[in-house]
Amino acid sequence: MTYILIHNPACSTSRKGLALLRERGVEVTERKYMNASGHLSEPELRDIAEKLGNVSPRDFSRPKNIIAEGLDPQMSDDELFAAMAENPKFIQRPILIKDDKAVLGRPIEKLLDLI
């Protein structure tokens, strides 16, 4: 089984989520989305929203970071998807993806729901 972990190594929660998965013997492909080569595109973010259960991007965004950048936290979903694609700091993590399902690891134990 192929698991993809949307991961930020600088985030302690994301690191703990990766460690939890490894402790359970789950092999993941890390998608280090904060690196320029790993940025998530708008279509990829829309796909993640669908895999999370057709949720709004608000369900996996970081509102404090959005407000800190001076953006309107009440922007439309389309505007938020675009903003998240442009600035990966707006994306919550970790997110575990397997096939057509995904789960946000907040708290990290939720990652185990996908295994």
Kindly state the tokens that stand for 86: 């442009």
State the Cα–Cα distance between residues 16 and 109, nearest whole angstrom.
Answer: 10
**Residue 73: predicted pLDDT:** 87
pLDDT digits (tens, 9 = 90+) for 58-86: 999 999 999 999 999 899 999 999 999 99
Domains and CATH numbers, the chain: 3-114 (3.40.30.10)
Residues assigned a catalytic role: 11
Q: Give the residue-averaged pLDDT of 96-109.
A: 97
State the Cα–Cα distance between residues 111 and 100, nearest whole angstrom.
Answer: 15
**Residue 7: predicted pLDDT:** 96
- If you search the block for the tokens 């669908």, which residue do you land on? 50
The CA-based dihedral angle spanning residues 71, 73, 78, 80, taken in that order and rounded to the nearest 10 degrees: 70
Tell me the whole-structure pTM to 2 decimals: 0.95
**Residue 1: predicted pLDDT:** 62
